[in-house]
């Protein structure tokens, strides 16, 4: 196939996943943890490969079904970085069966490989295959704790909604083929009714992976039941990779303004933000609360797509990167606290007296998600809202600002319990592993540094916001 070497990082990760599966069968019992280390080291190696290729003309080009450009390189880097931090979290996750460390790590790497292919795809066949690779791996990962009823329930709901979304998307792809005569997205087909209908059905399939309302119903149960490192992964990597695809399809190949989809995308953004934020008010389980927060964050990213301007594209790219740091930080603390006290809000009572460092880290990440200056989340939201104002979509900007203000309430519910409430009885001591601390340190550093000094990332985003024709 033409220029297959352009996909070397994604194919290398898939090959390493198969190698880990093979090693899992051959290694003697008690050595499985080595495979978990091999998985995150593999991600680190691929990350170095991606960073080395940034801006290198030899690493850019078009293939038969894919395009590797600065845009896809940016999102691949963010996806692999998030996956590496989540794999580090899994090393300190007590409920992950040691004997299944190899299969767990291989599934994570296969999912990341699919996401990397997804960010570069410009043909609907490769998009569908990539999404199915991600979905099948994610279904298994979400139900990995087979002894927990909530894990089984969440995985089943995830699977059923995923199967429905895939069926609708396949039907949309068939309509697209009928309208354009090809599955390539760069066909330049005119905006006739059949093509518009196909784009709407394909959007439904993409919206499932991005957890856009009203395709979000699977999210709270799947996130609550999945192992915490998997929840962190599902809330970040598939979302930002799918948004890369949405920006490519509905921002470059089929601009929303030209094909009459801009109002719909704006409505989806407003609906997703509002449903995510206002449903989070009533959650008493932190994983479910952060699940609805994740839905709301998808709404903010949708503003960048709905705006359809270069500034909107750059805003979505910037916010995608900082969102990965914010969410990894939150779930690292949730894993540390939930290990002893469960995931209810009560488990965070008096956390500041038990571990001031964890409390401050959680507070920084929550404040950043709420868009409080001078943290990275504020810069990202400012970027996106400025794009909406610049394009004249004032209503969308106002809805985004009001939703950000509303989100402060439920984020502060957690902060208030950490700093202002006393724990009931004698709280259990927190046994936080070094890998959790490592992931948390990286996430908090990103939240703080990119808030105070965002210029390097902004420059990187501007250089990467270039899609090859």
Please report which confidence band the pLDDT of residue 55 belongs to, taking 50, 70 and 90 as the band edges.
confident
Query: Which residue, 366, 232, 362, 371, is CA-closest to 299?
Result: 371
Tens digits of per-residue pLDDT, 369-381?
999 999 999 999 9
Prediction pTM value: 0.94
- Percentage of residues in the chain with pLDDT exceeding 90? 71
Q: What is the mean pLDDT of residues 294-321?
A: 94
The CA distances from residue 139 to 134, 209, 260, 300, in Å, are 9, 12, 34, 26
- Strand, helix or coil for residue 356: helix
Question: How much is the pLDDT for 197?
Answer: 94
Question: How much is the pLDDT for 433?
Answer: 84
User: What secondary structure letter does DSSP report for 258?
Assistant: T
Instruction: Label residue 375 left, alpha or beta by phi (over 0 means left) and psi (-120 to 50 means alpha).
Output: beta
Q: What is the mean pLDDT of residues 217-238?
A: 93
Q: What is the mean pLDDT of residues 115-122?
A: 94
Instruction: Please state, in angstroms and rounded to a whole number, the distance separating the CA atoms of residues 228 and 223.
Output: 8
Query: Which residue, 49, 84, 45, 44, is CA-closest to 68?
Result: 49
Q: What is the mean pLDDT of residues 2-12?
A: 87
Q: What is the mean pLDDT of residues 328-345?
A: 87
The domain spans of the chain are: 1-157+217-247, 261-469
Tens digits of per-residue pLDDT, 252-276?
889 888 888 999 999 999 999 999 9
pLDDT of 358 > 70? The answer is yes
Tens digits of per-residue pLDDT, 15-47?
999 999 898 888 777 777 888 899 999 999 999
pLDDT of 327 > 90? The answer is yes
Query: Which residue, 253, 270, 212, is CA-closest to 398?
Result: 270
Please report which confidence band the pLDDT of residue 339 belongs to, taking 50, 70 and 90 as the band edges.
confident
Residue 57: other Cβ atoms inside 10 A:
7
């Amino acid at each position: 196939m033409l220029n297959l070497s352009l996909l070397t990082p994604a194919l290398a990760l898939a090959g390493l996943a198969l190698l880990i599966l093979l090693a899992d069968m051959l290694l003697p019992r008690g050595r499985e943890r080595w495979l978990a280390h091999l998985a995150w080291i593999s991600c680190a190696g691929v990350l170095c490969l991606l960073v080395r290729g940034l801006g290198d003309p030899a690493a850019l080009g078009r293939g038969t079904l894919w395009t590797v450009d600065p845009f896809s390189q940016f999102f691949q880097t963010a996806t692999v970085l998030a996956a590496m931090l989540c794999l580090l979290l899994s090393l300190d996750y007590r409920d992950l069966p040691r004997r299944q460390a190899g299969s767990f790590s291989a599934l994570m790497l296969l999912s990341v490989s699919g996401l990397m292919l997804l960010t570069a795809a410009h043909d609907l066949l490769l998009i569908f295959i990539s999404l199915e690779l991600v979905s099948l791996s994610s279904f298994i990962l979400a139900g990995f704790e087979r002894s927990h009823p909530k894990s089984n329930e969440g995985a089943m709901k995830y699977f059923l909604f995923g199967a429905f979304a895939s069926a609708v998307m396949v039907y949309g792809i068939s309509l697209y083929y009928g309208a354009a005569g090809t599955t390539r997205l760069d066909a330049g087909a005119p905006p006739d009714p059949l093509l518009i209908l196909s784009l709407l059905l394909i959007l439904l399939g993409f919206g499932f992976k991005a957890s856009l309302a009203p395709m979000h119903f699977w999210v709270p149960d799947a996130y609550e039941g999945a192992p915490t490192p998997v929840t962190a992964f599902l809330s970040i990597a598939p979302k930002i990779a799918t948004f890369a695809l949405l920006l490519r399809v509905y921002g470059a190949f089929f601009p929303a303004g030209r094909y009459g989809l801009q109002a719909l995308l704006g409505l989806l953004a407003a609906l997703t933000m509002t449903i995510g934020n206002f449903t989070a008010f009533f959650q008493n389980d932190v994983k479910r609360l952060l699940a609805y927060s994740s839905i709301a964050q998808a709404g903010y990213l949708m503003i960048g797509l709905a705006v359809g301007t270069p500034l909107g594209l750059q805003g979505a790219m910037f916010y995608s990167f900082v969102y990965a740091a914010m969410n990894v930080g939150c779930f690292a603390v949730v894993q540390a606290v939930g290990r002893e006290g469960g995931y209810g809000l009560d488990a965070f009572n008096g956390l500041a007296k038990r571990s001031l460092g964890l409390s401050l880290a959680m507070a920084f990440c929550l404040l950043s998600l709420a868009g409080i200056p001078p943290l990275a989340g504020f810069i990202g939201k400012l970027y996106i809202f400025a794009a909406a104002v610049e394009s004249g979509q004032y209503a969308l900007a106002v809805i985004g600002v009001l939703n950000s203000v509303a989100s402060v309430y439920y984020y502060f519910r957690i902060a208030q319990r950490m700093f202002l409430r006393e724990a009931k009885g004698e709280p259990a001591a927190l046994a936080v592993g070094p890998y959790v601390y490592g992931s948390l340190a990286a996430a908090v550093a990103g939240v703080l540094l990119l808030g105070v000094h965002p210029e390097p990332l902004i420059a990187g985003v501007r250089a990467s916001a270039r899609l090859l024709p």
